Amino acid sequence: MKIVIVGAGEVGYNIARRLSMENKDVVVIDKDAAALRRVAENLDVQAIQGSGSSPVMLEEAGIKAADILVAVTDSDETNLVASLFCNILSPTTMKLSRIRGEEYLSHEEALNQPPYSIDVIINPEAEAVKKVEGLLNLPGAVDVGEFAEGRIKVIGIRLDANSPVTGTKLIDLRERTKSKQILVAAINRNEELIIPSGKDELLEGDLIYLVSEEKNAKDALEIFGKQDEPFKKILIVGGGNLGFKLAKALEGYPIHTKLIEKDVARCNMLAQALNKVVVLLGDGSDQELLREENVQSMDLVATLTEDEETNVLISLLAKQMGARKALTRISKFSYLPLVAAIGLEHVVSSRLAAVNTILQYIRRGRVLSAMALKGEAAEVLEAVALETSDIVGKPISQIPFPKGALVVAIIRGDKVIVPTGDSGILPQDRIIIFSALKAIPQVEKALMVKLEYF
């Protein structure tokens, strides 16, 4: 399995990191020597300096033997040209390309056709907006992933001191959760991932991941004391690409939305394009303006400017002034744990969204979808149990799954089963597996999914 990544920025770096940890052959191309050095020194991947759009560089990187090309430079044009030459040099290689410009995205179908034949176009902002929408539907959660066409939800919630379950052992919790088919699949405690057993206790500050059927998701939040009022009033700070896309999406909900942007020309453009959203001209860090616009009665303040440090400060300010929740846009992955520590639960990152989407497509084949968890120590995979696989036809407790992997749900036709040790898996069942990053290669083996990356 060989993957060529064009672009050693934050997205390229993190994809390379994840894949190299899974023992895949990864080659990274970038023009910038400093960015490349970071890759070469920290990761077990091959780093080549040069322009990723150059066919010579692509050949040198071994594109002809590569299964996948991931073009994720900051420049759409470079990504397009890299995909173009990849298609010429090696048409069978699967091409994933990050495209952000609206003018290109409006012709998405054309890019899927020859001469480009890009298999997957990733628009990070659109992915981020999708993620935010998921959170809007479950206001208490800090992370939401959907599986089996949305029938199963993986929900991340942060436990605080007054949650009714804080201090309870999981085994005692089982009575209450069993009837609703809710499973605590993982605990993220102090940035360490625990796949829990019945004896584990839930503590304040834990980020726990629940697996639940969609119809029970609200009940699940209630059991864990996170049943929040739905969002009715939202203030967006920053009318850039992401702010605009989110505002546009929110017009489809019964939500009153305001948007603050400090550039006049941009405001005019936004006002033209948006119908229900109130566009305000001003600086989001201006306390007077925030008070004027009733920030204290807001359900959610989303700070989405290009400058992440500003976002963090405005989010803190808004929360301090009384806003119920804040959603903060972060670009640097290394800030993610820090931001949770200072009390900003809801984080959106278009880059993280892009990484997740790309990983999901890389795992195509028998794996249907995937979700990377916060802190990045684990992934949730959805797969079909093959008849030939080792996992079929015996109780789960006897399946030779590696440490750190757990079957959290079985979907058989219309039925969703939250398994116990005795449950068995039948052929053609769809199973959802929670796996620590290190165990993923073994999980793939156990599934007999010689993952058909094509």
Binding site for other proteins (CB under 8 A): 2, 20-21, 23, 25-27, 33, 40-46
- DSSP labels for 317-361? HHHHTT-SEEEEE---GGGHHHHHHTT--EEE-HHHHHHHHHHHH
Least gap, CB of 449 to other proteins (angstroms): 21
Least gap, CB of 212 to other proteins (angstroms): 33
Q: What is the C-alpha separation between 289 and 280, in angstroms, rounded?
A: 10
In the bound state with other proteins, the residue whose beta carbon lies nearer, of 35 and 210, is 35
Least gap, CB of 203 to other proteins (angstroms): 24
Least gap, CB of 45 to other proteins (angstroms): 6
From its phi and psi, is residue 61 left (phi > 0), alpha (psi between -120 and 50) or beta? alpha
In the bound state with other proteins, the residue whose beta carbon lies nearer, of 375 and 424, is 375
Least gap, CB of 404 to other proteins (angstroms): 13
Least gap, CB of 358 to other proteins (angstroms): 18
In the bound state with other proteins, the residue whose beta carbon lies nearer, of 20 and 389, is 20
In the bound state with other proteins, the residue whose beta carbon lies nearer, of 21 and 451, is 21
Residues 6+ apart with CB under 8 A from 360: 369, 370, 371
What are the strands of the beta sheet with 278-281, ordered from one edge?
Answer: 278-281, 256-261, 233-237, 300-303, 325-329, 346-348
Task: Tell me how far CA of residue 140 lies from CA of 132, 156, 304, in angstroms.
Answer: 13, 9, 20
In the bound state with other proteins, the residue whose beta carbon lies nearer, of 44 and 149, is 44
Q: What is the C-alpha separation between 302 and 357, in angstroms, rounded?
A: 22
Beta bridge partners of 415: 412
Nearest to 14 by CA among 330, 334, 307: 334
In the bound state with other proteins, the residue whose beta carbon lies nearer, of 190 and 296, is 190
